């Protein structure tokens, strides 16, 4: 996979951006609150802004090196850019929109067959239509196709799903998943959605106030207690990779096998053995010192306390090892002391089945489920 190297410093008025990270390839997500510098960083990578200091390289191609006085202009960078809105040419058909970027790429440098990309994005039936006759999801798929047909060295996607409703997001997400696996083009993807990041990212970079505060795999970053509440969207929680063990049609439940035990969630579609990634928020996990008896909660896992992170005077985040699966429970410090919870304590993690909701953008108070099948 082609790698991406970024080491930049740039001042925008009173805002200072300092970002440094290296991604081996695949899809790298830039994550953080509004105003953290995500879009500013993408514009610097695209060449729309010249940085005060720094270096950008895609594979062995250096796009910016201020010490060596290298600054490749935007039109020579071969960087594809997909915005929140599709920005298609309204007077051109889908076919002509797709071919627009192809015309500016030297024939010897063109990669991939047009028909293959059309099939990959599922836009074959749309070829002769104009953008005004497309749904929001269809327009975004065409915009992605146009960017890729320019044979870019790097694809930038700045919150490409932000302007879509939930149904349209679900329409586009599977195609982005297919792209990240089927195209040997690194993707820099801006998002503030936890479900999108869990579903798409190979690599995650968290920005806050212009600084990189975390850099690594989504699984590693979501379990870091020290990030909270620096970035509010990264509420404490853990992602678990599970498989469907069965369905209880009578009560509308699906049974999942995780390393720490069996979990019951509201029923989801999927055959036995199908993979499902779940993210359980810390506020949805209760701790019991005894096996849960007489509770309405259906899920109880034996756990060992591996970390305690106190937040101010009120609450504490407790990291739990459930047979190799990691969870976080958020409890009050009063409960922490009253229950005598300490490092190494053997406890029971209790999770309500109704905490879970299907993936897509997830509303407050729910736990994310991401279909990996």
pLDDT mean across residues, the chain: 84
Segment (H or E) for 57: strand 53-58
Q: Which fold has domain 237-371?
A: OB fold (Dihydrolipoamide Acetyltransferase, E2P) (2.40.50)
Q: How confident is the model at residue 269 (pLDDT cuts 50, 70, 90)?
A: confident
CATH number of the 4-227 domain: 3.40.50.300
> Is 80 exceeded by the pLDDT of residue 186?
yes
* Cis? peptide before 304, omega within 30° of 0: no
Q: How confident is the model at residue 65 (pLDDT cuts 50, 70, 90)?
A: very high
pLDDT of 34 reads: 84
Backbone phi and psi for residue 118, each to the nearest 5 degrees, phi listed first: -60, -40
CB atoms within 10 A of CB 91: 10
CB atoms within 10 A of CB 154: 22
Q: Tell me how far apart the alpha carbons of residues 363 and 104 are, in angstroms, rounded to a whole number.
A: 43
Alpha helix segments (H runs only) across the chain: 38-46, 94-103, 114-121, 136-148, 166-182, 194-200, 218-222, 333-338
Write out pLDDT tens, residues 107-150.
766 776 788 888 888 888 999 999 999 988 889 889 888 888 88
CB atoms within 10 A of CB 72: 16
285: left (phi > 0), else alpha (psi -120 to 50), else beta?
Answer: beta
Write out pLDDT tens, residues 84-110.
887 889 999 999 988 887 776 777 667
Q: Tell me how far apart the alpha carbons of residues 161 and 199 are, in angstroms, rounded to a whole number.
A: 13
* Least confident range of 126-135, 186-195, 278-287, 352-361: 352-361
Are 72 and 64 contacting, i.e. CB atoms less than 8 angstroms apart? yes
Q: Compute the average pLDDT of residues 288-313.
A: 85
Are 362 and 344 contacting, i.e. CB atoms less than 8 angstroms apart? no
Alpha-carbon Rg for the chain, nearest whole angstrom, is: 23
Give the N- to C-terminal CA distance of the chain in Å, as an integer. Answer: 23
Looking up tokens 């497309």, which residue turns up? 134
Q: Tell me how far apart the alpha carbons of residues 356 and 365 are, in angstroms, rounded to a whole number.
A: 9
Partner residues linked to 80 by β-bridges:
155
- Half-sphere exposure of 23 toward its Cβ, with a 13 Å CA cutoff? 28
Are 3 and 25 contacting, i.e. CB atoms less than 8 angstroms apart? yes
Q: Which strand ranges, in their side-by-side order, compose the sheet holding 299-311?
A: 285-288, 346-351, 299-311, 315-322, 325-332
Are 243 and 321 contacting, i.e. CB atoms less than 8 angstroms apart? no
| pTM summary value | 0.70
* CATH 2.40.50.100 residue window(s) in the chain: 237-371
107: helix, coil or strand?
helix
CA angle 44, 205, 183 (to 5 degrees): 75
Are 265 and 353 contacting, i.e. CB atoms less than 8 angstroms apart? yes
**Nearest partner of 206 among 17, 33, 361, 84, judged by Cα:** 33
Instruction: Specify burial of residue 204 (Cβ count, 10 A radius: 0-12, 13-18, 19+).
Output: buried
> Is 80 exceeded by the pLDDT of residue 6?
yes
159: helix, coil or strand?
coil
Q: Tell me how far apart the alpha carbons of residues 50 and 209 are, in angstroms, rounded to a whole number.
A: 20
* CATH 3.40.50.300 residue window(s) in the chain: 4-227
């Amino acid at each position: 996979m082609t790698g991406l190297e970024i080491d930049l410093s740039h001042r925008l008025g009173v805002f200072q951006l300092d970002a440094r990270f290296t991604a081996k390839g695949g899809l790298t997500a830039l994550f953080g609150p509004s105003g953290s510098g995500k879009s500013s960083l993408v514009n610097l990578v695209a060449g729309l802004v010249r940085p005060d200091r720094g270096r950008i390289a895609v594979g062995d191609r250096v796009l910016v090196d201020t010490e060596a006085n290298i600054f490749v202009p935007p039109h020579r960078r071969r960087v594809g850019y997909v915005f929140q809105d599709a920005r298609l040419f309204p007077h051109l058909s889908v076919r002509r929109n797709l071919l627009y970027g192809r015309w500016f790429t030297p024939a010897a440098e063109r990669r991939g067959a047009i028909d293959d990309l059309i099939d990959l994005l599922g836009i074959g039936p749309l070829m002769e239509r104009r953008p005004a006759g497309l749904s929001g999801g269809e327009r975004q798929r065409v915009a992605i196709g146009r960017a890729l047909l320019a044979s870019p060295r790097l694809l930038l996607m700045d919150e490409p799903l932000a302007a879509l409703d939930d149904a349209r997001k679900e329409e586009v997400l599977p195609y982005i998943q297919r792209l990240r696996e089927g195209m040997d083009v690194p993707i820099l993807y801006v998002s503030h959605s936890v479900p999108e990041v869990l579903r798409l990212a190979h690599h995650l970079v968290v920005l806050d106030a212009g600084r990189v505060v975390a850099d690594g795999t989504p699984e590693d970053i979501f379990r870091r207690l020290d990030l909270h509440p620096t970035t509010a969207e990264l509420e404490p929680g853990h992602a678990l990779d599970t498989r469907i063990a069965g369905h209880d049609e009578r009560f509308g439940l699906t049974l999942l096998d995780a390393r720490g035990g069996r979990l019951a969630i509201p029923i989801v579609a999927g055959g036995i053995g199908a993979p499902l990634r779940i993210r359980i928020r810390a506020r949805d996990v209760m701790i019991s010192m005894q096996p849960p008896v007489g509770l309405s909660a259906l899920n109880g896992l034996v756990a060992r306390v591996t970390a305690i992170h106190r937040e101010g005077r009120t609450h504490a985040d407790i990291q739990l090892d459930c047979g190799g699966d990691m969870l976080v429970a958020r409890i009050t410090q009063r409960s922490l002391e009253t229950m005598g919870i300490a490092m190494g304590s053997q406890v029971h993690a209790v999770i309500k089945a109704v905490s879970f909701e299907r993936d897509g953008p997830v509303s407050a108070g729910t736990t994310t489920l991401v279909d990996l099948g």
